[in-house]
């Protein structure tokens, strides 16, 4: 598979290089130049496959010829070995016509483990073959960071620096990052918002001398391999539902749009999609875009669902590329306008194309609390606030459409215990693997949201890196 940039001015790359480089040099995002498909028979035959087998089958066409299916299977088996549910991503009925896809059975209790456990091993595999080392730099609004750190900790070929907005992630999220004291793990608490963190990471990638000297790479949701690994659970959910000929909708609690975009890719590969419900919190830039065709940045609001407290959904650019019929110049000029003025508008045909597939829903914190409480009253179960937003969006949608909706449970309730307890009166317990989280020592460096300060810290932390990689 060859990959092209959404902005059309970066070299085509193969899978290995796309995995290692993350963002394209022209500021765009890499996408496959053609869509591989699974025939209905191939999809049906996946119904009996183990989750790692299914994941290897889904990843294979994206990784060919760089990484073969046998290697992908070994990577997937290892990646999902420690998940705490035998189905890895269990699908179960929730209430009338609504199904829940549980994606919190990995080491950090959020769906990002499903892709990152694979990505960490893919990096290792590719780097070992090339005898190289890399520096992973990422921004997190909470969950990506811990999932990335868990995926990369103690891997010889990787140094990892994760920027999180100081004081704006939950204590559990922070501790899941800062209590990993492996020598190759570096946590930075940035005095700013998640968007500041994301801008700093983008600026480091834009600094070519720095990027090349430290072989910067990304594991945030712009990395293609993450998207590809996420496609697997959509395929898994679709075949598990066992209604091959019939279309299904997904309700996705959305921040950076990576998860919704992976659902779109699953559709391109052959999953029979009806609608994708883009569920947002008060940070409703996507809801407003779908209502008006105008993408307009606003202030970031802190909510009960902090992993969705995002205004600029970076993966949306990949979807926009499809909205405009893969016209890279149109993407580049829209993104430039967005960067300069804080807004851009889709053309009427592009918006019509998107609305044929996407529905936007938005929940306030009050509505999220009400949902958590009523779900607890109805089912006796606790959900996390992000998941509750997806379920509420699925319910609104079901009131107009009787096809099945699969809502994504993107985190375990114990990851957001304060919000869950405030809404339901019940404090969710951490699962056994994290029971002693509050007793573990933390390690973290606080820095202002200034590019030069962050870069100086990275240089100082890996002073010997350039010499070493020069030898290999
Ligand atoms: C990251 C995250 C989201 C948002 O996913 P995107 O792919 O960024 O849209 C939703 N819920 C939880 C729990 C998350 O960690």
What tokens were used for 182?
Answer: 């492996």
* Contact partners, residue 81, CB within 8 Å, separation at least 6: none
Tens of pLDDT, residues 130-158: 999 999 999 987 777 898 899 999 888 89
Quick one: pLDDT band at residue 469, thresholds 50, 70, 90?
very low
Q: Is residue 39 part of a domain?
A: no
Look at residue 465 and tell me whether its pLDDT is greater than 80. no
**pLDDT grade for 220, boundaries at 50, 70 and 90:** low
* C-beta neighbour count of 65 within 10 angstroms: 9
Residue nearest atom 2 of ligand 1, based on CA coordinates: 307
Closest alpha carbon to 81 in 58, 57, 55, 101: 55
Residues 51-65: tens digit of each pLDDT: 999 999 999 999 999
pLDDT tier, 464 (very low <50, low <70, confident <90, very high otherwise): low
Residues 279-298 have a mean pLDDT of 97
Q: What CATH number has the domain bearing residue 376?
A: 3.40.50.1100
pLDDT at 147: 86
What is the number of other CB atoms lying within 10 angstroms of the CB of residue 353?
Answer: 16
The response to whether residue 138 sits with its C-beta less than 6 Å from ligand 1 reads no
Determine the structural domain holding residue 266 and report its residue range. 91-109+226-424
Q: Decide if 431 contacts 401 (C-beta within 8 A).
A: no
Q: Is the CB of 255 under 6 A from ligand 1?
A: yes
Residue from 106, 386, 420 whose mutation best tests the ligand 1 pocket (most atoms within 8 A of CB): 386
pLDDT at 467: 44
CB–CB of 358/276 below 8 Å? Answer: yes
Q: What's the pLDDT score for residue 104?
A: 97
* Separation of CA 417 and ligand 1 centre (Å): 17
Tokens of 290: 């779908």
Ligand 1, atom 1: closest residue by C-alpha: 307
Q: Which atom of ligand 1 has the smallest separation from the CA of 142?
A: 15
Q: Are 27 and 335 in contact (CB under 8 A)?
A: yes
Give the per-residue pLDDT at 289. 97
Domain assignment present for residue 53? The answer is no
Q: Specify the pLDDT at position 25.
A: 87
Better pLDDT: 463 or 259 = 259
pLDDT (0 to 100) of residue 141: 79
Q: Give me the residues paired with residue 32 across strands.
A: 3
256 ligand 1 Cβ < 6 A: yes
Q: Of 39-43, 218-222, 464-468, give the range with the top mean pLDDT.
A: 39-43
Looking at the whole model, is its pTM more than 0.85? Answer: yes
Distance 469 CA to ligand 1 centre (A): 35
The answer to whether position 19 is within a domain reads no
- In this structure, the dihedral spanned by the alpha carbons of residues 456, 460, 465 and 470, taken in order and rounded to 10 degrees, is 70
Q: What percent of the chain has pLDDT over 70?
A: 97
- Over residues 306-317, the mean pLDDT reads 90
Residue 201: predicted pLDDT: 94
pLDDT for residue 472: 34
Nearest atom, ligand 1, residue 415 CA? 13
pLDDT in tens, 384-406: 999 999 999 999 999 888 899 99
**Helix or strand or coil: residue 110?**
strand
411 lines ligand 1 (CB under 6 A): yes
- Rounded-to-integer distance, Cα 63 and Cα 67, Å: 5
pLDDT for 50 beyond 60: yes
268 belongs to a structural domain:
yes
Atom of ligand 1 lying closest to residue 254 CA: 9
| pLDDT, mean of residues 201-227 | 89
Q: Provide CB contacts within 8 A for 130, sequence distance 6+.
A: 16
Which pLDDT score is estimated for 453?
97
CA 150 to chain centre: 15
Q: What is the mean pLDDT of residues 62-71?
A: 97
pLDDT tens-digit series, residues 145-191: 898 899 999 888 899 999 999 999 888 889 999 999 999 999 999 99
Task: Provide the number of structural domains found in the chain.
Answer: 1
Residue 22's pLDDT is what? 72
Q: Is residue 386 part of a domain?
A: yes
pLDDT digits (tens, 9 = 90+) for 420-453: 999 999 999 989 888 899 999 999 999 999 999 9
Rounded to 5 degrees, φ, ψ at 207 are -85, 95
Stronger pLDDT, 5 or 23, i.e. the higher one: 5
pLDDT of residue 468 exceeding 90: no
Q: Is residue 346 part of a domain?
A: yes
Q: How far apart are CA 54 and CA 46, in angstroms?
A: 6
pLDDT attached to residue 463: 66
Looking at residue 316, its pLDDT comes to 97
Higher pLDDT: 196 or 23? It is 196
Nearest-atom index, ligand 1, CA of 143 = 15
What pairs with residue 135 in β-bridges? 159, 216
The pLDDT of residue 192 is above 70: yes
458 in a structural domain: no
By CB atoms closer than 10 A (0-12, 13-18, 19+), residue 452 is: exposed
Confidence of residue 470 (pLDDT cuts 50, 70, 90): very low
Nearest to 144 by CA among 368, 287, 315, 5: 315
The pair of structure tokens assigned to 454 is 């962050």
- 233 C-alpha to ligand 1 centroid (Å): 15
Q: What is the mean pLDDT of residues 60-83?
A: 97
Annotated catalytic residues are 112
Q: What is the arithmetic mean of pLDDT over 328-332?
A: 98
Tell me whether residue 373 is in a domain.
Answer: yes
Of ligand 1's listed atoms, the one at least distance from the Cα of 257 is 9
Q: Is 383 exposed, middle or buried (0-12, 13-18, 19+ CB in 10 A)?
A: buried
Instruction: Using most ligand atoms within 8 A of CB, pick from 104, 110, 195, 220 the residue to mutate for ligand 1.
Output: 110
Q: Where are the alpha helices (DSSP H) in 91-220?
A: 112-130, 143-152, 171-178, 194-206, 208-213
* C-alpha of residue 209 to centroid of ligand 1, in Å: 32
Q: How far apart are CA 190 and CA 454, in angstroms?
A: 9
Average pLDDT value for the chain: 93
């Amino acid at each position: 598979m060859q990959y092209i940039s959404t902005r059309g001015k970066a070299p085509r790359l193969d899978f290995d290089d796309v995995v290692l480089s993350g963002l394209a040099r022209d500021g765009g995002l890499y996408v496959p130049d053609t869509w591989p498909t699974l025939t209905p028979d191939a999809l049906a035959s996946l119904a009996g496959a183990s989750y790692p087998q299914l994941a290897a089958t889904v990843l294979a066409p994206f990784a060919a010829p760089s990484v073969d299916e046998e290697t992908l299977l070994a990577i997937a088996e290892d990646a999902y070995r420690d998940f705490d549910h035998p189905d890895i991503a269990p699908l179960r009925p929730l209430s009338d016509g609504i199904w829940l896809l549980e994606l919190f059975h990995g080491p950090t209790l959020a769906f990002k483990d499903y892709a990152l456990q694979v990505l960490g091993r893919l990096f290792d595999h590719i780097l070992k073959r090339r005898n190289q080392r890399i520096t992973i730099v990422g921004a997190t609004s909470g969950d990506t960071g811990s999932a990335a750190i868990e995926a990369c900790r103690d891997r010889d070929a990787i140094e990892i620096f994760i920027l999180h907005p100081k004081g704006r992630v939950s204590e559990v999220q922070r501790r899941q990052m800062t209590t990993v004291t492996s020598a190759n793990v570096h946590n930075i608490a940035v005095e700013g918002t998640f968007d500041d963190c994301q801008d700093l990471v983008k600026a480091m990638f834009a600094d070519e001398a720095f990027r090349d000297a430290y072989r910067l790479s990304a594991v945030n949701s712009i990395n293609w391999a993450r998207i590809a690994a996420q496609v697997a659970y959509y395929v898994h959910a679709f075949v598990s539902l066992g209604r091959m000929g019939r279309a299904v909708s997904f309700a996705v609690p959305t921040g950076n749009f990576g998860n919704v975009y992976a659902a779109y890719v699953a559709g391109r590969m052959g999953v029979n999609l009806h609608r994708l419900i883009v569920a947002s919190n008060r940070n409703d830039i996507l809801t407003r875009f779908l209502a008006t065709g105008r993408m307009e940045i606003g202030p970031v609001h802190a909510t009960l669902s902090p992993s969705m407290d995002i205004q600029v959904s970076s993966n949306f650019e990949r979807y926009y590329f499809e909205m405009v019929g893969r016209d890279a110049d149109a993407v580049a000029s829209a993104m430039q306008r967005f960067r300069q003025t804080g807004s851009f508008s889709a053309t009427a045909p592009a918006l019509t194309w998107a609305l044929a597939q996407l529905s936007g829903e938005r929940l306030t914190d009050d509505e999220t609390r009400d949902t958590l409480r009523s779900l607890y009253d109805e089912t006796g179960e606790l959900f996390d606030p992000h998941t509750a937003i997806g379920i509420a969006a699925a319910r609104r949608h079901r009131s107009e459409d009787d096809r099945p909706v699969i809502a994504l449970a993107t985190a375990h309730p114990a990851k957001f215990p304060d919000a869950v307890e405030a809404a339901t009166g019940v404090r969710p317990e951490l699962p056994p693997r994290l029971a002693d989280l509050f007793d573990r020592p933390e390690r973290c460096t606080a820095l202002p949201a200034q590019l030069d300060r962050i870069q100086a810290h990275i240089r100082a932390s890996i002073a010997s890196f350039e010499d070493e990689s020069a030898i290999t």
